[in-house]
Amino acid sequence: MKRRTLLTVGGCLTAAASALHVGIVLGGPPWYRFFGAGEAMAQMAQRGAPAPAVITLGIATALAICAGYAFAGAGLIRPLPLQRPALTAIATVFFVRGLFGIPVVLLVNDPYLLELRARMPFMVVTSAICLVLGVCYALQGEKPVERHTL
């Protein structure tokens, strides 16, 4: 698969994850619970506390920025500042989450991580997605992809 295709796929998946996080805020406490944010976040959202929305929208924003870098790396939009190191950093974050998410959940005794331990299918699926995204961002090639214009 060409690096342009991988970055485009990675950008689309990351943009979808960003949109999903916005949906979680709109969906409220049941969505926080279903998508693994934890009971504490769901209860705070139920009480109307701003923290869950702020945190979740912050994640959505970070994911949208990552998608932008993928699209820039694929040549779909203009190059962005520090594009190559940013793509490398994004790939690293996805790989770390994908590789270490499950071991941390299994080995660390924290109330939130204990909740996630009870949801191992969720952890396996999200870890696999993060590994795929890590590959999409990491295989950016030796030189930037040239931008195609119509």
Q: Could you tell me the residue ranges of all domains in the chain?
A: 3-138
pLDDT, one tens digit per residue, over 93-113 is 999 999 999 999 999 999 999
Question: Hey, what long-range contacts does 16-20 have (CB within 8 A, 24 or more apart)?
Answer: 17/63, 18/60, 18/61, 18/63, 18/64, 18/67, 19/60
pLDDT, one tens digit per residue, over 25-47 is 999 999 999 999 999 999 999 99
Q: Output the pTM of the full model.
A: 0.88
With contact defined as beta carbons under 8 Å apart, do 38 and 24 qualify?
no
Confidence of residue 22 (pLDDT cuts 50, 70, 90): very high
Confidence of residue 142 (pLDDT cuts 50, 70, 90): very low
Is residue 57 over pLDDT 60?
yes
pLDDT of residue 2: 78
Is residue 54 over pLDDT 90?
yes
pLDDT of residue 76: 95
Give percent above pLDDT 90 in the chain.
89
Is residue 144 over pLDDT 60?
no
| Cα→Cα distances 4→27, 91, 108, 127, 141, Å | 34, 15, 38, 23, 9
Dihedrals φ, ψ of 51, to 5°?
-55, -50
* Distance, CA of 77 to chain centre: 20
Residue 77 is given by DSSP the state S
Is residue 117 over pLDDT 90?
yes
Name the average pLDDT for the chain: 92
Provide the H-helix boundaries in the chain: 3-27, 29-34, 39-47, 51-73, 83-107, 111-117, 120-138
